[in-house]
Amino acid sequence: MSRIYFDNSATTPCLPAVAEVVNTVLLDTYGNPSSMHRVGIEAEKVLKNARRQVAEALQVESKEIFFTSGGTEANNWAIWGTAQQRKGRGKHIITSSIEHASVLESVSRLAEDGFRISYLDTDQDGLVDPSQLQELLTPETILVSVMSVNNEVGSIQPVNELARIIKSSTPQAFFHVDAVQSFGKLLLRPKETGIDMLSISAHKAHGPKGVGALYIDRNVQLKALLVGGEQEVLQRAGTENVPGIAGLGKAAALAGARLDSNDSTLAKLKQKLLQGLRGLNKVHINGPGGDAAAPHIVNIWCEGVNRGEVLLHSLEAEDIYVSTGSACHSRRNEASHVLKSMGLSGDALTGAIRVSLSYLNTPQEIDIFLAKLKQIAAELRGLSR
């Protein structure tokens, strides 16, 4: 049996077409884009082309795309940069309790500096309530940061409604969306939605690691997070990762083409997975699961299996790879803050695993996974008696 990789929310395989672009730039277009000679200008053209490709995927202007080292830096920059730029207007920030650590730890640091942080609660499906946002907004609010898709349970937040509330009642507040998990899987148009800033990461969409981007609306001003150079129009210092950025551009173009063609591969794979899971005795789904969730993430738990890592390693022994939650917190021996915020307890909290798909997976892999899960869960229950 060949490897079955169902941990695509942690990272995705880099597509051969993307790797080819990265390799070509590494070997042939190695100049520094800031250099004034021809070799540098060739590298600058690579950046320009990638910026256009990412902008087209988001339906924004090229000059509104700023390259970063990944989704974490993009999130850090959006939050810290807004706080420093607008602290004279207010020091209130709103986020949700189930954000990625790059958001939660950013706002925690700002709280130490005197900012007031409000957290949106979530229901048992991991969804925020727009009416609570309405109640929390004040004239002092300068930023709302909410992810579009939760990375552990796949819940799709009502971003359109959140944006409408912010723009209608507190237009001075910026709206930042962490779209790392939704980019390439769901259509998200910042300008149509009313999003001021949006973070993406290449390696979550079949691109290379170490590169991402922050969309910043042309009317938004941020303090630079990294200083000491004039790259990215003085907004992000440091020599650009030209090969990685070229790969991001290619991955964005391919992802945009799949969305434009209404490729239903992911949705069909997930539907098959859900049907199979519902047919297994004592196997349950955390979160919305169905159409209310992203097309690539399913969080499950098995009655009588109280340690997700045991289930993970048992599947690993069969060459099947899943996760117990966010890869950024995989080495912590503590329950998921996302599942706790959803009010889960017992095996549903400590025994959960995340299955995350890509369009490269196959129906046959789903069948094998379901059979092995059934077998392993029964064996683990037997051991716990």
CB 152 within 8 A of CB 101: no
User: Please, which residues have CB within 8 angstroms of residue 64's CB and are 6 or more apart in sequence?
Assistant: 55, 215, 216, 217, 218
What Cα–Cα distance (Å) separates residue 164 from each residue in 66, 229, 238? 25, 37, 36
How many degrees, rounded to 5, is the angle at CA 262 between CA 5 and CA 6? 10
CB 155 within 8 A of CB 142: no
Query: What DSSP letter does each residue of 32-66 carry, written as one string?
Result: -TT-SSHHHHHHHHHHHHHHHHHHHHHTS-GGGEE
Burial of 219 (0-12, 13-18, 19+ CB in 10 A): exposed
Q: Which residues pair with 302 in a beta bridge?
A: 283
Phi, psi of 16 (to 5 degrees): -55, -40
Strands 297-302 and 283-286: antiparallel
Amino acid at 186: L
How many degrees, rounded to 5, is the angle at CA 154 between CA 222 and CA 55? 40
328 is a catalytic site residue: yes
3-state helix, strand, coil in the chain (%, to 5): 45, 15, 40
Q: Of 26, 280, 328, 335, which residue is the catalytic one? A: 328
Task: Supply 72's token pair.
Answer: 């974490």
Active site residues: 328
